[in-house]
Each structure stands twice: as C-alpha cells, then as structure tokens.
Amino acid sequence: MSGHPVLGGARVLVTGGASGIGEGLCRRFASLGADVLVADIADASALAAQIGGRSVRLDVADAGAWDALAAAEDGFDVVALNAGVTTVPHVVGGAVEQPLAAVGVSDYRRIMGVNVDGVVLGTMALLPGMLARGGGQILVTASLAGLVPIPPEPIYGLTKHAVVGFVRSLGPALAPHGVTVSALCPGFVDTPLVSDVSRELIEAFSLGIMPVEAVADLAVRALEERQPGSLWTAIAGREPVRFEPANPFP
C-alpha cells in the first residue's frame, strides 16, 4: 500500500464516480492507497471491484439519501463532490441561438439539484463527522466555467459559479476546525460531455482537451497543499495553477 501522506489508508468518497472525471479520481486515489467508496446514480460496482473499493447508488440531489449514507458509513477523510450534469448533451457545440430557449424548468431543477444541491447537501451531511474527528478534506469539482463566462451554457455556468462561491466562503470558515475545502476548476476534459462537434470547435480556438488523468493530478496536488478555499485550474497545454481572484477592495 502506498504511503501517500494524504491518501494512503484514507477513507474516500467520490460522487459521480462511475465515469468521466469521477472515475479518474477513483482510480488515482485507489492507486495511492485510499479506501474508495464510488458513489453514483449509475451502477459503479464493476469499477469498485477493479480498484479494490466499494460502491453505492446515490442521488446527490436527495437530502434523505445523503443522511442515510452518513448514518451507514464510519466517516470519510476525503470527500470528492464531483457529480455534475449539463442542461444540454454537450457543453460546447450545437447550441441554439438563444440558449435559455432550450432549457425547461425540469432541466433547470435537475442541473441545480446535481451541481449545487449535490455539493451543499453532501457537505451538510458529512461535515459533522469530519468536525467530530477533528479534520478532513472536501474537494469540489467545479469548472473553468465557474471563473469565466460560458455563453453556450449559462445555467451550467451559474451552477459552477455558485459552488466556487461556496468553496471560497466555506474554506476560511472551516480552516480553524481542521477541515479544508477546495475546488478543481479544469478546462475542457476528455469525457463524454465533449462531443465530436465540440472537439472541432475547441481545436479551432486552440483551447485543447486534457486527459482525465491531468485532473486527477490536480486533485492530488490540491489535497497535498491543503489551502482553505483554494481554486485549482488546469488548461490543456499549460501548467496547473492556483487561481487567485482579484481583490475588489485594494
């Protein structure tokens, strides 16, 4: 087993862990010696078996499901709140002229439930256990869309800006209690959210698409450096950096 200072022997939960970035996080954390619980609304048992972990079906938008999970588990050292969806099949490509015209109320409720409630409810359910044990880390998967405009998907941008604000505000509040909250803000990642049309557009603007492994690298760095309320960005072809928002009160 790895002797990694944060993940070696750690109890870790990853939401949205069955595919995409979540799967990458699960595989990386397990490779560093973590005991990983893969949580997803889809069946993640095959992945859990591959990495020597466990799986649980979880609707992150359901407060009762979070309470049940907290009651059933003996706490976590690291919680990666990664589950996320969009209002359209792909974040870039195929957008209509007026993006909100394609978004119904049910679409809005769904994305808010997963992207925002999934972070807030998860934190509310699992934070008491961390505080009782004297520490832990919560790592939120936000997006570069939480730092800059994303015209093709404004509701997605809204949700990611929301969780960035949550992390920035909660981080300093929890630091004195030994709990670190930070966020990953990657650019375009090679996941099912990036369609063939999206890839063409992304390449046309020389933005690049990074592998999931690059986000896993960033996650490990964020956990190692343990900076309260920090935002970690990664863009294809550039060095990952800790993003520092401008101070509006110089």
> Quick one: residue 52, left, alpha or beta (phi over 0 = left, psi -120 to 50 = alpha)?
left
**Are the beta carbons of 124 and 66 closer than 8 angstroms?**
yes
Look up residue 117 and give its DSSP letter.
I
Following DSSP, what letter does each residue of 197-245 receive, concatenated? HHHHHHHHTT---B-HHHHHHHHHHHHHH--TT-EEEE-TTS--EEE-P
Residue the block writes with tokens 């093709």: 152
Cα dihedral 176, 159, 74, 26 in deg (nearest 10): -110
- d(CA 17, CA 3) in angstroms, rounded, equals 23
Concerning whether 108 is annotated as a catalytic residue, the answer is no
Q: Quote the distance between the C-alpha of residue 54 and its chain's center.
A: 19
Q: Among 156, 166, 188, 232, which one carries the catalytic annotation?
A: 156
**Distance in Å from the first CA to the final CA of the chain:** 48
Q: Please identify every residue annotated as catalytic.
A: 156
